[in-house]
Amino acid sequence: MNISNYTSTDQQQSQQFHRQYGANAFLPDINWSEIFKMSQLKSTHLQALDTLYRSAVPLALKVFEELHFDVFSPVAYHPQGLGLFEKLSQQEQHLLETLKAECDCLSDEVRHQIWSMLLRGGAVLVFKAWLAKVKTGRDQLDMSQFDELSDLLFVKTAPHTLAQQLNIDTNAPYDHIFLMYGDDILLDRFNSLETAALFVKLGVYDAAFLSLRDERVADYLKAQGMVTQDQIDELQCALNPLHCDNLTPKQDCLV
């Protein structure tokens, strides 16, 4: 027996099985508490994640099917020139309409959690959970090779517009959860500079700290009068007093 041929055939059969899940938009139940063992998830967080999951994943799969785009194929990890940005952007309003209908029977706090998660990559997160569940049968996230496609699933709607559509008060005293997964902190990126500034105003982030992470955010917050370069420099020196001139490694806070 040729082992390499057997392995190739086995992989093809496995991919075909996965594709059937995608083609039928099958949504297996996911245990969010099992995935995020290190995070203290409340019932409101679980409801928000499940609502996002059952609303966002079918729409994303519909677009992929229309474009004959196989998310289980290695070529899917480099999606260029396929019109995915445009197609998924067109579906965003459908997603928001679906969520709006779902939110009618949800509490203010759950709606607030959905809003907060969407602005910070919630749709990406639930899709990765679906992908891992289909591929492995386990409650985990597919963190392997989906980064380039992740940005496609980020909701681009402005934060206040999204708040109006989901009927939530942006200043309501509810938490904005971050999710731990292994060594990764999830829901820590923003869909726009406007969202980054809003989360500073809400007290979720310190303006100087966020500015140290991303120069684009720093420039925007300084232009908005929310932080000064002196404040950024002071924090840099406080964090590294022996080497104040050493720059803090930058991260992409924005999609």
**Looking at beta carbons, which pairs linking 85-90 to residues 24 or more positions away fall under 8 Å?**
85/152, 87/63, 88/60, 88/63, 88/152, 88/153, 89/156
Q: Please indicate, yes or no, whether residues 70 and 160 belong to a single structural domain of this protein.
A: yes
Q: Please indicate, yes or no, whether residues 138 and 92 belong to a single structural domain of this protein.
A: yes
Q: How do residues 183-231 score in pLDDT, each as one tens digit? A: 999 999 999 999 999 999 999 999 999 999 999 999 999 999 999 999 9
Q: How do residues 122-168 score in pLDDT, each as one tens digit? A: 998 999 999 899 989 999 998 875 566 666 778 899 999 999 999 99
Domains identified in the chain, total number: 2
Sign of CA dihedral 237, 242, 246, 252: negative
φ, ψ of residue 96 to 5 degrees: the values are -65, -35
Q: Please indicate, yes or no, whether residues 126 and 152 belong to a single structural domain of this protein.
A: yes
Report the percent of the chain where pLDDT is more than 90: 53
pTM of the shown model: 0.85
DSSP assignment string, 75-110: GGGS--SSSHHHHHHHHHHHHHHHHHHHHTTS-HHH
Q: Please indicate, yes or no, whether residues 221 and 243 belong to a single structural domain of this protein.
A: yes
**Cβ pair 18, 135 in contact under 8 A:** yes
Q: Please indicate, yes or no, whether residues 104 and 220 belong to a single structural domain of this protein.
A: no
Range of the domain at 94: 3-23+31-188
Q: Please indicate, yes or no, whether residues 144 and 199 belong to a single structural domain of this protein.
A: no
Which of 132, 166, 188 is at the close of a domain? Answer: 188
Q: How do residues 59-91 score in pLDDT, each as one tens digit? A: 888 877 776 667 776 555 455 555 666 666 777
Position 63, amino acid? V
Q: Please indicate, yes or no, whether residues 116 and 214 belong to a single structural domain of this protein.
A: no
Q: Please indicate, yes or no, whether residues 165 and 224 belong to a single structural domain of this protein.
A: no
Which of 188, 207, 226 is at the close of a domain? Answer: 188
Q: Please indicate, yes or no, whether residues 238 and 252 belong to a single structural domain of this protein.
A: yes
Please report the pLDDT score of residue 143 as a whole number.
83
Q: Kindly tell me if the per-residue pLDDT of 21 is higher than 60.
A: no
Which of 161, 188, 215 is at the close of a domain? Answer: 188
Q: Please indicate, yes or no, whether residues 239 and 177 belong to a single structural domain of this protein.
A: no
Q: Please indicate, yes or no, whether residues 93 and 111 belong to a single structural domain of this protein.
A: yes
Please report the pLDDT score of residue 253 as a whole number.
83
Q: Please indicate, yes or no, whether residues 225 and 145 belong to a single structural domain of this protein.
A: no
Q: How do residues 91-113 score in pLDDT, each as one tens digit? A: 788 888 988 998 889 999 999 99
